[in-house]
Amino acid sequence: MKLVCGNSNRSLAEAIGNYLEVPLSNCLVRRFADQEIFVEVQENVRGEDVFVIQSTSYPANDHLMELLIITDALKRSSAKRITAVLPYFGYARQDRRASGRTPISAKLVANLITHAGVNRVLTLDLHAGQIQGFFDIPTDNLYGAPVMMRDIKERYPLDNTVVVSPDVGGVVRARALAKRIDAQLAIVDKRRERPGESEVMNVIGHVEGRSCILVDDIIDSGGTLVNAAEALLARGAKDVTAYITHGVLSGGAVARIAQSRLKELVITDSIQPTEAVKAAPNIRVISIAPLMGEAIARTAQEKSVSSLFD
């Protein structure tokens, strides 16, 4: 087995390597003067089972191109099998045509990855489940819920906790976590007037006097989460914590979270945390390296990956 990574999240790749007790392979990824990407795999990979660890996070286009070019380099170096390990799959929010004359970018990116020469994909908490079917190669979509569940059980008295979905679209995810920790479920009814802006309309479920745990897959601007927390507190919630898999946190999101009434925002390291995230008083990062590492090991050994979901 060989582990290769680009520049998107080297700290996570190193943590996965430590879990597997496999060092990262020497792979040079640099830029020419005009910012074209140059890749050189600096060790033999002929006949090897290679895992390329690369989140397509900001800057998404650069990191996607790194993934494609690394894959091409490995393919031309006679690697036996190439698995793209995508802790965060960018462009996942464009998974359908919401209006006329718009793309389905998630399918386009899936095609690019497939045609570059990737043999299989391993990813985490896709924004929409159907994206797994956009790939014409074997694709395993892991879930962050087991990692979050362990953290919640260590920190919260579950007899007075309710899991909350910040919108109707996330009900399945929130219900799955609520079932795992044997908690009740509530839903925030949200209406979005325009992209990037949201308005909370109503809370469905009993939250008064209870600790609320908001659950979602992506936090970008943070507006939805802050509005949902305000709505829950206005309806008598004791406190509000959020568990989010992918901390995109673009623009002024970190400052918005820091100034909000959220008790804590817990994100995973699927996207490399910025210095601002590390310095924020109410943002905490938990690692998915053991989960991703175990999935990589099982893939390499041709063992079941689905048992990790239990």
Average pLDDT by stretches of 10, the chain with 310 residues: 96 98 96 96 97 97 98 97 97 90 96 98 94 96 94 90 92 93 91 62 91 96 92 95 97 95 97 96 96 97 85
Task: State the greatest distance between any 2 C-alpha atoms of the chain, in Å, as a whole number.
Answer: 61
Q: Hey, what domains does the chain have and what are their CATH numbers?
A: 2-142+290-309 (3.40.50.2020), 145-287 (3.40.50.2020)
In the three-class reduction of DSSP (H, G, I as helix; E, B as strand; rest coil), residue 186 is classed as strand
Question: Could you give the residue numbers annotated as active site?
Answer: 190
pTM of the model: 0.93
What pLDDT is attached to residue 193? 61
What pLDDT is attached to residue 224? 87
Closest CA relative to residue 41, chosen from 64, 67, 70 = 70
What pLDDT is attached to residue 198? 58
Pairing, β 197-204 against β 184-194 = antiparallel
What pLDDT is attached to residue 99? 86
Q: Is residue 76 part of an annotated ligand binding site? A: no
DSSP annotation of 96 reads: S
Q: Is residue 35 part of an annotated ligand binding site? A: yes
Q: Is residue 217 part of an annotated ligand binding site? A: no
Quick one: which H or E segment has residue 44?
Answer: none
Strands (E), the chain: 2-5, 27-31, 37-41, 49-53, 81-86, 120-124, 139-142, 161-165, 184-194, 197-204, 211-219, 239-247, 264-268, 283-286
What value does the CA radius of gyration of the chain take, rounded to a whole number of Å? 20
**pLDDT tens sequence across 146-189:** 999 999 999 888 889 999 999 888 999 999 999 999 999 999 98
Q: Is residue 62 part of an annotated ligand binding site? A: no
What pLDDT is attached to residue 102? 93
Q: Which amino acid is at 103?
A: P
**pLDDT tens sequence across 84-107:** 999 999 999 999 998 889 999 999
Q: Is residue 54 part of an annotated ligand binding site? A: no
Q: Is residue 269 part of an annotated ligand binding site? A: no
What pLDDT is attached to residue 197? 60
Q: Is residue 127 part of an annotated ligand binding site? A: yes
Q: Is residue 167 part of an annotated ligand binding site? A: yes
What pLDDT is attached to residue 263? 96
Q: Is residue 94 part of an annotated ligand binding site? A: yes
* Residue 3 to residue 16: CA distance in whole angstroms: 9
Q: Is residue 216 part of an annotated ligand binding site? A: yes
What pLDDT is attached to residue 199? 67
